[in-house]
Amino acid sequence: MSVMFRLPAVVRKINPPGKGESARFATMQTLESGGEIRITDLAQRHGVTQPGMSQLVDRLVEAGDAVRKRDDFDRRAVVVELTDQGRQTLHDRISVAADALDHLLDRLTESERAAIDSALPALQKLTSWTHLEDGDAAAHV
């Protein structure tokens, strides 16, 4: 299972550097699928601290890719939304990364590609959880 440590290298390779940190596009994907989401939720989902997510959102807003809106029902809270430009930015990036990934996948055999395909729903599920339970990584540190 230690292949997990090497997966970020694959992401680095298909995802050109210098244009966005590791959590940026994942966060944008969450925003696209989920609509209006709170800073705290985004932070938990992506494994960063609340201030860290606040700063990431700063960068998205500054780039014109997202907007902050005050929640009218709980005025302490902020909800974040992707702008049209943000959606465009995200799709452009996914398209570049998908091309690069295709080139890598080309070197696998048909059955290897099929194996990865079959695992995608499970991986998707794995990446969708917001919380760790007690006894998980944080507790071991």
Partner DNA sequence: TATTGTTATACTCTATAACTATA
Partner DNA sequence: TATAGTTATAGAGTATAACAATA
Q: Could you tell me where the DSSP H helices lie in 35-109? A: 39-46, 50-62, 84-105
Position among 50, 77, 84, 140 found at the interface with a second copy (CB under 8 A): 140
Query: Among DNA, a second copy, none, what does residue 51 contact (CB within 5–8 Å per kind)?
Result: DNA
Query: Among a second copy, DNA, none, what does residue 77 contact (CB within 5–8 Å per kind)?
Result: DNA
- What 8-state DSSP symbol labels residue 134? T
Angle at 2 between CA 126 and CA 22, to 5 degrees: 55
Of how many residues is the chain composed? 141
CB-CB contact of 56 with 23 (8 Å):
yes
How distant, in Å, are the alpha carbons of 32, 41, 136 from that of 82?
6, 15, 31
Q: Of residues 72-91, which lie at the interface with a second copy (CB under 8 A)?
A: none
CB-CB contact of 45 with 30 (8 Å):
yes
Q: CB under 7 A: which stretch of 18-26, 82-90, 99-107, 123-131 binds DNA?
A: 18-26
Q: Name which of 71 and 119 has its Cβ closer to a second copy.
A: 119
Tokens of 39: 């800073």
Position among 39, 48, 61, 87 found at the interface with a second copy (CB under 8 A): 48
Q: CB under 8 A: which stretch of 53-61, 71-79, 80-88, 120-128 binds a second copy?
A: 120-128
Beta pairing partners, 79? 38, 69
Q: Name which of 21 and 71 has its Cβ closer to a second copy.
A: 21
Please give the residue ranges that form the binding site for a second copy (CB under 8 A): 1-17, 19, 22-23, 25-26, 29, 45-48, 94, 96-101, 103-105, 107-108, 112-113, 115-116, 118-129, 132-133, 135-138, 140-141
